[in-house]
Amino acid sequence: MSQTTNPAGAAFATGPTMTNRRPSQSAKRPLSRLAREANAVIAVAARDITITLKSPGMLAMGLIMPLIMMGLIGGNLMQNMAGGLGFGLGQFMLVGMLVTMLFMLTTMGMVTLVDDSDGNYSAELLVSPVSRYAIVTGKIAGSAFTGLVSCLGVLAVGLVMGITLAPWQLLVLLILAPLFCLSGGALAMIVMGLIKNNKTANMAVMLLTMPQMFLAGAIIPVNQSTGILWLASRLMPMTYCVDLGRAVVYAGSPEYDSVVMFNPAVNLACLIGLTLVCLVVGTVLYARSEKNR
């Protein structure tokens, strides 16, 4: 290695050793940052999943809801109002309920952020060296676990009612499941950024999700809706979740045009756009509320 002397008489080294060291150090920074973000997502999600597994009541609720929604409400509709639709209401309803459980229970699971705030857990997370979006994504992933458990209940109720899906249809819905859960969790973040009372938050989330189940067409068709009902259904993220799920399940079938409302590309674009808007706005509101608490 050669040495060069500057005007002040100080010697500094030049050569391949110096030039090779700096790029390697800078290359490690993005990788370490990405690993830290991924670790935060996994840690937050694992905590919520552990809490769910230790709460039999939450798991029971996830299994009982499909029995009420699909077994009672859906069963009555199939026996009394399914005639003349032009397609089988059973499979139509099964797909809608699978998507709804993923969306709804992820949304409802985000209410635990209020408890996290009361216990200062959220404040500790927000001052950690990870992005707020990694924390929120981990929370959504953890909340989605109950939705996945509930889907097992939906499939079990469907099996008893004689309604099934092909393995490839279930696989495609499973691939889309993270997007459905992310959409529901992102919508809930807006509520969590505005409300800090547990009872009020639970009520607000319930009022936010229950109407969507009916207006989005999870159980009954909404193709012919007009006026305010038409506008409300188009503004709700669950509408595009349910319709996208049906688009992939009914692809190539004669019932496709009777069941699916929008082109899958339109569904995907609207779903991604609404999710990003809700995620950004909700995360900013939540972080601000924790800062001002």
Q: Cα-Cα-Cα-Cα dihedral of 131, 134, 135, 141, to 10°?
A: 170
Round to whole Å and give the CA distance between 161 and 96.
15
Domain hosting residue 225, numbered range = 45-291
Q: Is residue 1 part of a domain?
A: no
Radius of gyration of the chain from Cα atoms?
24
What DSSP element (H or E) covers 224? none
The predicted structure's pLDDT at residue 124: 64
Q: Which residues of 71-91 are buried (b: 16+ CB within 10 A; e: fewer)?
A: bebbbebbeeeeeeeebebbb
pTM across the whole model:
0.80
Q: What is the C-alpha separation between 88 and 79, in angstroms, rounded?
A: 12
* The two structure tokens encoding residue 27: 């290359």
| Number of domains within the chain | 1
Residues 6+ apart with CB under 8 A from 144: 102, 105, 106, 109, 177, 178, 181, 185
Round to the nearest angstrom and report the end-to-end CA distance of the chain: 58
What's the gap between Cα 167 and its chain centre? 23
- pLDDT for 179-238, tens place per residue? 999 999 999 888 888 887 778 888 888 888 888 888 888 888 888 888 898 898 888 899
Q: For residue 253, give the nearest of 91, 96, 93 by alpha carbon.
A: 91
Between CA 127 and CA 115 the distance in angstroms is 18
Flag whether 244 is in a domain: yes
Indicate the helix (H) or strand (E) that contains 14.
strand 11-14
How far is CA 270 from each of CA 32, 48, 185, 244, rounded to the nearest angstrom? 33, 29, 16, 10
Question: Are 163 and 82 a contacting pair, CB within 8 Å?
Answer: no
The single residue listed with the structure tokens 């299994």 is: 63
Reduce the DSSP state of residue 2 to 3 states and report it.
Answer: strand
**What pLDDT, on the 0 to 100 scale, is given for residue 276?**
92
Helix, strand, coil percentages in the chain from 3-state DSSP, rounded to 5: 75, 5, 20
3-state secondary structure of 237: helix
**Does the residue 57 lie in any domain?**
yes
Q: Which residues of the chain have pLDDT under 70?
A: 1-31, 79-85, 115-129, 290-293
Please check whether residue 16 lies inside any domain of the structure. no
Q: Is residue 7 part of a domain?
A: no
Q: What is the pLDDT of residue 260?
A: 92
Please report the pLDDT score of residue 291 as a whole number.
Answer: 66
> CA angle at residue 277 from 273 to 279, to 5 degrees?
115
Residue 88 belongs to a domain: yes
Q: Is residue 19 part of a domain?
A: no
Q: Is residue 13 part of a domain?
A: no
Helix axes 167-194, 132-160, angle to 10 degrees: 130
